[in-house]
Amino acid sequence: MPLGAITTESLPLIINTEEYPPFNYSDEHGQIIGSATLLLRNALRQADIEAYFRLLPWARAYTEARFRENHCVYSTTRTPEREALFHWVGPLAVNDWAAFSLAERGLSIASLSGLHAWRVGSFREDAVGDYVASRGINVLLAPSERENIARLEAGLLDVIVTGKATGEFMAQEQDIALAHLFTFYRAPLYLACHPSVSERLLARLQTQLDALHRDMREESL
């Protein structure tokens, strides 16, 4: 390698994320926080890896990690369709997928098969919505998760499918009474990185993440 050449391992990682509380979201000061963010920042620090975090609409955050060198995205569901597209580090959290409606509607739906007659909302490039659509259900896509809550409240949707913790967090945040209809899947969430990102660097990050998980398990005993 020529003297002074720059490798991707020597550059800061560009880490994209979205508004997906409680795992990753911005606080009132514009700082990116959340349970997955805190865990990832701690692992990066302990692995001595420099990273720059950005909050973007999910479709853009995901697409940039998919096609731009040295970019990563979280919190990302590790699906078979996505497996070969990225290098993976995690899990950062576990996400239960659930269906919600406005509590005042009094809907009684117990499974995905019961959603065919209703207007179901998700957002672009979201694994939850993709999974539901793969079951033959027509899913209406919004740019963001919070917009789906607004559409639900406005009567433009009957049901939203999202992470259970996320739905409950946003309902409390916006003072909206949601009814949890059912939970239909449990998915670990990961950091997904463009293949250009050094596997050696990510292995170092994974080691520190595993150590943090061990510490948390021991503290809970």
pLDDT band of residue 219 (cuts 50, 70, 90) is: confident
pLDDT value for 15: 98
Pairing verdict, β 139-142 and 120-123: parallel
Residues 89 and 12 in one domain: yes
pLDDT digits (tens, 9 = 90+) for 55-88: 999 999 999 999 999 999 999 999 999 999 999 9
DSSP secondary structure letter of residue 20: B
CATH of residue 124: 3.40.190.10
Helices (H), the chain: 35-46, 58-67, 127-134, 145-153, 164-173, 199-220
Considering the domain boundaries, does residue 3 fall inside one? no
pLDDT digits (tens, 9 = 90+) for 7-63: 556 789 999 999 999 999 999 999 999 999 999 999 999 999 999 999 999 999 999
Considering the domain boundaries, does residue 173 fall inside one? yes
Domain region containing 16? 8-94+188-220
User: What would the two tokens of residue 93 be?
Assistant: 């959290």
Residue pair 174/47 in contact by the 8 Å Cβ criterion: no
Considering the domain boundaries, does residue 1 fall inside one? no
Domain count, the chain: 2
CB atoms within 10 A of CB 151: 16
Residue 61's nearest CA partner among 150, 134, 123, 8 is: 123
Residues 169 and 201 in one domain: no
| Per-residue pLDDT at 157 exceeds 80 | yes
Residues 109 and 183 in one domain: yes
Does the reported pTM lie above 0.75?
yes
Residues 23 and 82 in one domain: yes
| Per-residue pLDDT at 6 exceeds 50 | no
Considering the domain boundaries, does residue 150 fall inside one? yes
Work out the average pLDDT over 185-206. Answer: 97
Residue pair 156/120 in contact by the 8 Å Cβ criterion: no
pLDDT band of residue 198 (cuts 50, 70, 90) is: very high
| Per-residue pLDDT at 105 exceeds 70 | yes
The residue that leads in pLDDT, 6 or 133, is 133
Residues 90 and 194 in one domain: yes
